Copies of this chain bind each other. A is one copy, B any other.
Amino acid sequence: MQEIRRDQLEDICATALRAAGASEGDARLVADHLVDNDTVGHHSHGVMRLREYVDAIDRGELIPSARPRIVSESASTARIDGGWAFGQVVAEFASDLAIEKARVTGTSSVTIRSVKHIGRLGRYAEKVAGSGMASIIFTCGGGHGINQAPFGGVERKLSSNPVAMSFPSGLDGPYVMDMATSVVAEGKVRMYRGRGLQTPSGWIIDSEGNPTTNPQDYYDGGAILPLGREEGHKGYALAFMVELFAGLLSGGGIPGDPTDSFSNESMIIVLDPERFVPLEEARERASIMTDHIKSTRLRDESRPIMYPGEIEAAARAANQERPIELAGSTWEGIVSVLRQFSLPEPPGDLPDLGIRVEEVLAALDEGRLER
């Protein structure tokens, strides 16, 4: 376990991404997303991804200097080609465009294709809600990241195809739902394996289709089951529809006809609540409903009922000033990236990191440092 301050960690990541070929703006944006995802407790979408992103750059799958491009658009729609840029850069661009279009016509839908890992959908959903708008986001893997068995099937054919939705609130954080359409995201199975634990029953099957709690069985050709368990036909149907909206309408890859490499193709739908009811009234009435639902008698007094997004809002508030705790393997991944680009390694106890983006930029400009 390694403890590190948010701003230090963000500097390290931005420096590494800059060295890997990203512009300063893109490096900062991606670093901010990664560190924020750790801050709200979603480490599977946090800085542990840095090593993976740099590997994708090394393989030529992620083009760090690429910019998203609008392929076609109408009053309420746009189709964006990400040019294999950082997913966060493409998804932020698409979210901004969807918000802009919804402000003009009231509703919009924007797709992205040829786009690497976009990270946590909730981050874009939060952004839309922060602009006073509501969102629905569908994401698939372009026919890659296949991990989910269709209901009644015993082999992987779908990605975990997440769905996010958001709505402005008058509370600490916006209403944000962000969920895999499989029982769990693959990252959780990986976490159980990493810790040497058995997964809860009902998550995975082995390569023969037998239920198992050994996470290794998933990696040996097993599959994750669809959301719903006995009602897995619902999670499967959701995952299927996500492929149609995000994969097909982005013009990207789908199971059975994939892209060359993993592509986090997405559909971002944005609605302007003001076209329906005054936003303040919506916020107030949403709070009435939230109080009403949170007042439900509890199964376990120590586990209160949360509104969607409450966990992340609470974690962000609690962790903003705290150092981030990183797993040893995550820290090793970061250090390996720093070494790859001959960047100074932070001292073990990190009292002062001694790495600043400005220094690296200057070193790059002056030819003291190579990409």
Identify the A interface with B (CB < 8 A).
72, 74-77, 79, 102, 104-109, 111, 134, 136, 149-155, 157-158, 165, 167, 175, 177, 179, 183-184, 200, 202, 209, 227-231, 234-238, 240-241, 243-245, 247-251, 254-257, 269, 271-273, 275-277, 282, 285-286, 288-289, 291-293, 296-300, 303-305, 307-308
Contact = CB atoms under 8 A, between A and B. Distances in A.
Given A75-B76, A245-B134, A285 B307 contact: no
B249 A273 contact: yes
Nearest to A183: B231
A237 B295 CA distance: 16
30 contacts: A76-B105, A77-B106, A77-B272, A77-B275, A77-B276, A106-B109, A107-B107, A107-B108, A111-B276, A136-B269, A150-B293, A152-B303, A154-B297, A165-B241, A167-B244, A167-B248, A209-B297, A227-B234, A228-B228, A229-B230, A240-B293, A240-B308, A244-B286, A248-B285, A248-B286, A249-B273, A249-B276, A251-B277, A257-B292, A269-B271
Contact of A202 (B107, B152, B230, B286): B230
- For A149, A231, A273, A286, the residue with the greatest tally of chain B CB atoms inside 10 Å of its CB is A231
5 residue pairs, one from A and one from B, having the closest CB atoms: A256-B292, A153-B296, A77-B106, A76-B107, A76-B105
* Chain A at the B interface: SS class: mixed
Contacts of A72: 275-276
This protein's copies in its complex: 2
- For A236, A254, A271, the residue with the greatest tally of chain B CB atoms inside 10 Å of its CB is A271
A118 to B, nearest CB: 18
B106 A296 contact: no
A167 B245 contact: yes
A286 B107 CA distance: 25
